[in-house]
Amino acid sequence: MDIALTQDMSVLSLIAQASWVVKGVMLVLLFASVASWWLIFEKWFLLRREWRQTQDFEREFWGGGHAEIVKRSQEEGRRSSLEEVFRAGLKEFRGKRQLTVAPQAVVESARRAMRAAYQREMDEIEAYLPFLATVGSVSPYVGLFGTVWGIMNAFLGLSSVAQATLAQVAPGIAEALIATAIGLFAAIPAVIAYNRFTHDIDRLANRHDVFMEEFSNVLQQEAARS
**Is 67 a member of any domain?**
no
Between 174 and 161, residue with greater pLDDT:
174
What's the rounded Cα separation, in Å, for the pair 144 and 123? 33
Residue 60: per-residue pLDDT: 85
**Is 73 a member of any domain?**
no
**Is 215 a member of any domain?**
yes
**Is 46 a member of any domain?**
yes
Residue 28: per-residue pLDDT: 93
What's the rounded Cα separation, in Å, for the pair 77 and 18? 53
- Is residue 61 over pLDDT 80? yes
Mean pLDDT computed over every residue of the chain: 83
**Is 69 a member of any domain?**
no
pLDDT band at 159 (very low <50, low <70, confident <90, very high): low
Q: Give tens-digit pLDDT for 16-32.
A: 666 788 888 889 999 99
Between 220 and 223, residue with greater pLDDT:
220
What is the tally of structural domains in the chain?
1
What is the phi-psi region of residue 132: left when phi exceeds 0, alpha when psi lies from -120 to 50, beta otherwise?
A: alpha
Torsion of CA 27, 32, 38, 42, to 10 degrees: 170
**Is 9 a member of any domain?**
no
- What is the residue range of 116's domain? 14-59+80-225
What's the rounded Cα separation, in Å, for the pair 177 and 174? 5
**Is 3 a member of any domain?**
no
- Look up residue 160 and give its DSSP letter: T
Residue 4: per-residue pLDDT: 45
Q: Give tens-digit pLDDT for 66-98.
A: 667 777 666 666 678 998 999 899 888 888 877
Residue 3: per-residue pLDDT: 42
Q: For the chain, how big is the Rg over CA atoms in Å?
A: 29
- Burial pattern 123-155, b for ≥16 Cβ within 10 A else e, equals eebeeeeeebeebbebbbebbbbbbebbbebbe
Between 199 and 63, residue with greater pLDDT:
199
**Is 74 a member of any domain?**
no
- Is residue 100 over pLDDT 50? yes
